[in-house]
Structure 1
Amino acid sequence: MTAAGVGLGQLLLALDATMVTLVEAPRGLDLPVASAALIDADDVRLGLSLATGAADVFFLLGVDDGDVLGWLAQQARAPAAIFLKEPSDAVVMRAVAAGTAVVAVEPRARWERLYRLVDHVFEHHGDREDPLYDSSTDLFGLAQSIADRTHALVSIEDVQSHVLAYSASNDGADELRRLSILGRAGPPEHLAWIGRAGIFDALRVTGDVVRIDARPELGLRPRRAVGIHHAVADRRRGPAFAGTIWLQEGARPLAEDADDVLRGAAVLAARIISRLAAAPSTHAMRVQEVLGLRDADRTAVANAARELGIETDGHVAVVGFDGADASVRLAEVLALSASAFRSDAQVAANASRVYVLLPDTGRPAAVTSWIRGTIAALRSELGLTLRAVIATPPTGLAGVAAARAEVDRVLDSAKRRPGAIGQVTSLAESRTTVVLDEIVTMIGADDRLVDPRVRELREGDPVLADTLRAYLDSFGEVGAAAQWLHVHPNTVRYRVRRIEEILGTSLADPDVRLVLSLSLRAL
């Protein structure tokens, strides 16, 4: 995850004390940070993520004190900050001595939620400076503006009730709000009551403000909420539900016009969410330029790579994953895994496909192992069935766009012939299948390239057409064709003679066999 840069203090302010607490910042809070990476205990022990050059901020997942101290000692350049749960005094002292800030993460916080929030801050912190938009085009900024106007604690959630942004917390936050920000599910009795009250249903179908009374026995303070809806191309379907804005009453009573503020905020939030969905961040555009998913000349690609911290003459690997499942944010899920494997990994999505760019791999076996492990983990944990294709351009960065196109060729063929291509493969491994599939697809798209005699044979006598396919695929061996068709060899001989009579040609001619075979496959 990489961006143009934001002050460490700004980042911590956005994350709020509910999620993180600053322990020490030896170089101050104005230190610019623009990228983050995840490292787990296995990465540290196996030495897979020792270099800090490609990231400013590191999330240390489940790494014990001894490994953290060893990891810090091996860094040629001190990270700007490390985030970890319950840092020990020894870790704090070593980090401060190296000039690294230490941020304590709330023990109940989910790392994927923290990563998503940091990603949002990095990618969109400059939105409010964009003259094309008004002053409330950042979801965090909008949440804080609502809070300031209504005296409430505000959170903005997507359609799956994932928190996208929130206002600064205070002592008035109840347990449901704290757990929501931390990425934990709210207490089951809370959610069950909200569901039974029909609140979720009301938010999805109407733009009216919904009021929720306090439930002292559940520890719930009074709330108000409004659904976020935006227009869709087909106006007959009505506005589409895009999320919810929640107001929790804090220490002060809500402003008298809180309902009006909420309704206006829902309109602004819909615009922001629609814009963010339609216009990728600067970081996303840079990755797309390097991968050739966005038009860019050679100079622009080199500049984009430089911004991303990718060496122009180093080894790279491009991995394409394909797996359409609207219920899972595949790009985010794969970004977590890729960043844990390589802190300088870059991720871009295009429709159902997600591409991972791994700079300076030098270890193809390790890359393949990571791909297989990721596919297995996502199948086990999320029920996803993914296919992956890897390409390693010999020309480094200059060949990345071509490598991505190579990956797409294999994935396209795999969609048309899923059983013929492996789950983890490359163009070199699948070349025969891919090339044949592309030839047959091209022929099938142009009626002039399909022998009309084959079409007539299929329509007039499908049994003879199947016999012709079996005979050609068996290289003219009658016995093999008969076994395939489960008939007597004499039956195949008789059918072949009939086919030659109907087609008016001899199957002994290799050119005839080639044209007929391709036509059969195209049909």
Structure 2
Amino acid sequence: MSVPVPNPEPSPGQHAAPAADAPTLGSVLAAGAGEAVEVVSVPGGPGVPVRGVGLYDPGETFAARDHVLVAVGVDASSATAAGVLQAAAQAGAAALVVRRGAAGPAQRLLDVARVVPTALLTRAPWVEWTELVGLLRAGLAYGGGPGAAEPATDVPLGDLPALANVFATLVGGAVTIEDPESRVLAFSRSENGADPLRRLTILGQQVPRWRLAELTASGFLRTLWTTDDVVHRPAEERFPERLAVAVRAGAEVLGSIWVAADGAPLGDGARQALREAARTAAPHLLHHRLRSRTGSTRRRQAVRALLDGTPDVASAAATLGLTPRTPCAVLSVLAVPGEGSAADPGRALHLAALQATAHHPAGFALRDGDRLDVLLPLPGPEGAAETDGPGRHRTAALQARRLGGELAGAVRGAGFRPLVAVGAVREALDEAVDSCRAAHLVLRVLRERHPAGGAERTAVVAEEADVRAALDALRVVDAVSTLSPAVDGPVRELLAHDVAHRTDLAGTLAAYLDRFGDVPATARLLGVHPNTLRYRLRRLSDLFGLDLADPDTRLLADLGLRAAGLLPPRAAGAAAGTAEREED
């Protein structure tokens, strides 16, 4: 960060005394952003004045005095965080926000935080940077400062029903607050009964389509969204007159406020009162939108943290409304397209996610590329006090398996073949990562046995026990693939030869090993004459020095082929292995 823009008094490292009713760090955080950050250090106390919110940029000169600086991409556990805090303090920042790392703040950062006047905050993992900036700015606008509106400041930030009632008193009519899609967010009480249009809008929670068509055709909506002023719609045959104004945060439209005459014509001061209401409503609508959006983001981040093995299990569990000692299991789902199908499996996985959350409210579904992971909390000991541990495990495993069948049905109903892996039941949420890893391994086995493009449409639901041998082999392959020297030296040469000469000697070797060296059985599987197979085996020996009579050579060759992702071809009907098939 270059030298900050010079400021008059106070001197660097000091903060000006807050003016009466001016926003402070405490008021900004209390207005909503406090849920998105964790306070690490506040040397000046919560009364430190805040004049704005800015982004930390090491390559720019800026005036940061009494601002909350957001350091996008800076982790509290990184070696650079301490220097960023020092630079922010030299610029006179009121506070610095950095990302909360899994390892916690670095000791050097904590040492700096103890000697600088700038507060140190860390961003919660469930909130995005843009959302955090929005929450901070909403809190700043609500708490006072340049352009902040005075009316209705006693209404808690985000309490839109209370705000609508206050606006109705100020404007002298019946108020409806809507989002940009004309959905009703809040409405005021009506003194003389709602007119038919207002009643339809409130009951349907959105403006009727026919009404939107009228407003669009007449140009009313275009005028509303393009002007900062109040727009008037005269009384109609069945409906009283209305005033409307767009609510904005800068150039962005957050929604609108509508006022209908309620038993008497709107007064002369209604327009000015509605203009003031729009300014007052801006931080409320911004806060409402961000809270609605970050609520789902927060839950997704909490589920991801548990599946990745977060050390902060208590925080993630609280976000999901669970206790850390909640037993759980993880299910993983793939939607495999049929032969010749180019359909997107996204819709099938979406239906499976809806199945998991709609019919099992305790479940949390998370899409990850072409895979859907479902964290399934299960009844704990308090729900089964008279059942022993093994009995609880059997009941929980059956519940997880049953959900696996339901998810398979949802995917199959969308026209895809479902592969569902059920991870083992674990005793607490800190072990969800183990169940997730097991489910992913089982899914790898199923994916290899049931590749895309096949004609088979049967659903497969499997647990670890169903594919135990293949799973153990997969774990061995994963373990030996990291050894040095690599065990797949000859196999690597073999694969390179196949690519260069457009042959399939590696496939021949995989089939031969899979059939335990049985030449007739391997030849039948490959659809070649036994003598052709014998010729290929001699080529393997001559070209790559593979002595297939030696058991160690066979073992290493098999591991090398598996590590390269090459599985032997399987006869029809053999691909299912021991996995359970869920028939229509």
Q: What is the rounded CA distance, in whole Å, between the counterparts of 1:431 and 1:476 in structure 2?
A: 23
Q: Which has the larger radius of gyration?
A: 2
Q: Does 1:178 align with 2:196?
A: no
Matched with 2:507 is: 466
Task: Confirm whether residue 503 of structure 1 aligns to residue 530 of structure 2.
Answer: no
- Structure 1 residue 402, shift from structure 2 partner: 3.2
Residues 197-346 of structure 1 mapped to structure 2, 5 A cutoff: 224=244, 245-251=255-261, 253=266, 255-256=271-272, 258=274, 262=278, 265=281, 269-270=285-286, 273-274=289-290, 277-278=293-294, 293-296=309-312, 300=314, 308=321, 312=325, 316-322=327-333, 325=346, 334-339=356-361, 345=362
The residue number in structure 2 matching 1:476 is 517
Contact 2:329–2:377 at 8 Å: present in 1 too? yes
- SS class of match (1:256): helix
User: Structure 2: how far apart are the matches of 1:388 and 1:477?
Assistant: 33
Residue 139 of structure 1: CA displacement? 7.9
The corresponding residue for 1:368 is 401
Aligned AA for 1:174? R
Query: For residue 424 of structure 1, what is the aligned residue in structure 2?
Result: 461
1:207-236: CA deviations, max 9, x gaps? 978969689699798585759899xxxxxx
Residues 1:366 and 1:355: Cα distance change in structure 2 (over 3 Å):
closer
Q: 1:481 to 1:292 in 2, by over 3 A?
A: closer
Could you tell me how far 1:143 is from its partner in structure 2? 6.1
Which has the larger helix fraction?
1
Q: Distance in 1 between matches of 2:286 and 2:480?
A: 46
Change (3 A) 1:392 1:338: same
- Please tell me the residue identity of whatever aligns with 2:329: V
Report the secondary structure of 2:360's partner residue: helix
Counterpart residue number, 2:166: 148
Cα distance in 2 for residues equivalent to 1:376 and 1:518: 35
Any idea what the Cα deviations from partners look like across 1:187-222, whole Å, max 9, x if unmatched? 55446667778999999x989789696896997985
Equivalent-residue separation in structure 2 for 1:276 and 1:470 (angstroms): 55
> For 2:333 and 2:245, how far apart are their aligned partners in 1?
37
What is the CA-CA distance between 1:357 and the residue it aligns to?
Answer: 0.5
498-507 or 348-357: which moved more?
348-357
Partner amino acid, structure 2, of 1:296: D
More displaced stretch, 146-155 vs 214-223:
214-223
Structure 1 residue identity aligned to 2:310: R
1:337 offset after TM fit, Å?
1.4
User: 1:454 — aligned with what?
Assistant: 494
Alignment of 1:490 onto 2:541: no
Instruction: Decide which of 378, 382, 388 is 1:358's aligned counterpart.
Output: 378
Q: Does the CA contact (< 8 Å) of 2:177 and 2:187 recur in 1?
A: yes
- Give deviations 1:379-401, integer Å, cap 9, x for gaps: 65x88987654345364667555
Taking the aligned partners of 1:328 and 1:207, their CA distance within structure 2 comes to 39
Report what 1:402 is aligned to: 434
- Aligned-residue offset at 1:279: 6.9
Deviation at 1:338, TM superposition (A): 1.1
Residue deviations 1:358-381 (CA, integer Å, cap 9, x gap): 21474344553344335535765x
Find 2:555's aligned residue among 503, 506, 514: 514
* In structure 2, distance between residues paired with 1:388 and 1:162: 41
Tell me: CA distance 1:486–1:322, structure 2 relative to 1, closer, same or farther (3 Å). closer
**Alpha carbons of 1:482 and 1:330: their partners in 2 closer, same or farther (altered >3 Å)?**
closer
* Residues 398/208 of structure 1: CA separation in 2 closer, same or farther (3 Å cut): same
TM-score by length of 1: 0.51
Instruction: Provide Cα deviations, 1:96-148, integer angstroms capped at 9, x if missing partner.
Output: xxxxxxxxxxxxxxxxxxxxxxxxxxxxxxx99x9999579988514643663
Specify every segment of 5 or more residues in structure 1 that has no aligned partner in the other structure, as ranges: 1-126, 231-238, 340-344
Using a 3 Å threshold, how does the CA distance of structure 1 residues 346 and 430 change in structure 2: closer, same or farther? same
The 1:370–1:331 alpha-carbon spacing in structure 2 relative to 1, beyond 3 Å, is closer
Aligned to 1:174, what secondary structure does the other structure show? helix
**Separation in 1, partners of 2:538, 2:232:** 81
Between the aligned partners of 1:483 and 1:212, the Cα distance in structure 2 is 83
Secondary structure of the residue aligned to 2:159 is: helix
SS at match of 1:508: coil
Q: Secondary structure at the match of 1:483?
A: helix
